[in-house]
Every structure is written in structure tokens, then in C-alpha cells.
Structure 1
Amino acid sequence: MEFLKANLDFGVMGLLGFMSFVMIAFVIERYLYFARLDLTSFDDAEDLDLALTRHLTAIATIGANAPYVGLLGTVLGILIAFYDIGQSGVIETTTMMIGLALALKATALGLVVAIPSLIFYNALLRRTEVLKARWRKGRRP
């Protein structure tokens, strides 16, 4: 329990930080790719779709799972808070509230990662639809 208590914040915050870094890297890569994309270089709709949607699944997965990682951190933090209260044998409201408040920061950080991820995912998905429509319009005889 002491190992979990000492390393919970590093593990959860580190994982959410890594997820955030990956999401931002993929978002920047997609925006740069879309900015320099030449639609005339694609002859097949499937190839275009594959090129446009690359990394979007990872961004959506991060957006969908970051709250769960945060929630796991919160549940483990609450478990530690209750364990400490049980070990001390004394229920002090201040100690209990501080432990619970610190546990909730993991959920908050999970939401901070998830919300922008889903916003960027939806914006990028819309951009792919616009580019596919432009490609189809340019292919008409």
C-alpha cells in the first residue's frame, strides 16, 4: 500500500501527460498534413480516406479513455485515503477531506485531457469530410 501511495500521482499523472503529448503531436501532424495535401495526387477514394484518417483513431481513443484513467486514479486515491483513516483509528474530517480532494485531481486531469482530444478529433473528422467532398467534386467529368 505504501508503494501505491508513494507512486500513484506519478503513475496517473505521467500516463495522462503521455496521452496528452501523443494527442497534441498527432493533432499537429494532421493539421500540417492537411495544409500541404494535394488532392490531385489521389486516384482512389480508399487511398484518400486512409491518408486523411491516419492517427484519428488514436486521438479518439485518447479522448475516450483519459477520463477512465483519471477515474482509476481517483478510486485508488480514495482507497488510500480510507486505508489511512482505518489505520489511524481516528476519523478526522480535515484529514479525510484533504485525502478525498487530492484523489479527485486525477479525474479532473483526465477530463482536461479528454475534452480537447474529442474537440480536436471532431474538428479533424470534419476536415476529412470536407477534403473528401472537394476530391469528389474535382473528379467529376
Structure 2
Amino acid sequence: MWLEYVFMGIMGLMSLVGLYVFFERLFFYKRINLSDFSTRARLEKELTRGLYVLASVASNAPYVGLMGTVLGIMQTFYIMGKEGMGDTLKIMTGLALALKATALGLLVAVPATVLYNYLVRRARELLYEWEEKHARKGD
């Protein structure tokens, strides 16, 4: 079934985009110099840049997987209606492949959520560190 490969490709692309954002932000956080930022707003803007992409991957992957499952089941029922109830092996294989899309959606979404939460926490830590340094300068 060609539909399975389309959704596997979409999930693969979503996971690659999510990993790219994660590693880009991770390396940015490691090399950032907090002294370069004069305002909290500017720092926060830089720290959170691109995080929405990872959040979108995490929140939408299950829906994309569910769409693959629904379309796969619809395709299986269409084939059943066209060919009759005949071959149970084809029907079960079609349904199993359709459910694989949901599993892939969850397989992409769960790690993406974990990575997103890690980056948000790291961004907050850097903001707190910046605030602490600027509070000392004001004393």
C-alpha cells in the first residue's frame, strides 16, 4: 500500500526537523554569552527562537499518524468492497499497516515532547542566570 510510505515519509521528515531544531538550540545554548544581551526581552527572544517548530512537531505528529490510520482503513474497506470479503490475509495486512501510522505518530511525538520540554527548561535556566547576574550589578 503506497499510503503507508507517504505517511512514513511525512513522519520521517517531521522527526528530522524536530532533531535539527533540538540540536541547533542545544549547541546555541552551550555557546551563548549572556553578557551580550542588555535586555531580558532580547535574550528571551533568542533563547526561544525556533522552539515553536519542535512544539508543532510534538503536538501534530499524533494527528498526522491518526490521519494515516484513517486513510489506511478507508483504503482497506474500499478494497474489501471492491473485491469482496475474500482474502482475510489482505484485510488484516491492510489494517495492520494502517495502525502502523498511529504508532509512528506516537513514536515521533513522545520524544519530540521530551526534547521540547528539555529545551524550554534550559532556556529558563539561562534566563534565571542572566537575571541573577543583572540583579548583582544593580546592588
TM normalised by structure 2 equals 0.93
1:110 maps to 105
Poorly superposed stretches of 4+, deviation over 6 Å: none
Question: Runs of 5+ in structure 1 lacking a partner?
Answer: none
Secondary structure at 1:90's aligned position in 2? coil
Question: Runs of 5+ in structure 2 lacking a partner?
Answer: none
What is the alpha-carbon distance in structure 2 between the residues aligned to residue 125 and residue 60 of structure 1?
10
State the shift of 1:89 in Å: 1.6
- 1:122 equivalent among 117, 125, 132: 117
1:51 maps to 46
What is the alpha-carbon distance in structure 1 between the residues aligned to residue 6 and residue 84 of structure 2?
28
Query: Structure 2 matches for 1:73-92, cutoff 5 A?
Result: 73-92=68-87
The residue type paired with residue 47 of structure 1 is R
TM normalised by structure 1 equals 0.92
Aligned length: 136
What is the alpha-carbon distance in structure 2 between the residues aligned to residue 91 and residue 10 of structure 1?
25
2:133 maps to 138
2:63 maps to 68
* Residues 24-60 of structure 1: CA deviation (Å, up to 9, x unaligned): 0110000000000101110011100000001100000
State the shift of 1:104 in Å: 0.5
Identity across the alignment (%): 44
* Residues 51-95 of structure 1: CA deviation (Å, up to 9, x unaligned): 000110000000000111111111010001111111112254433
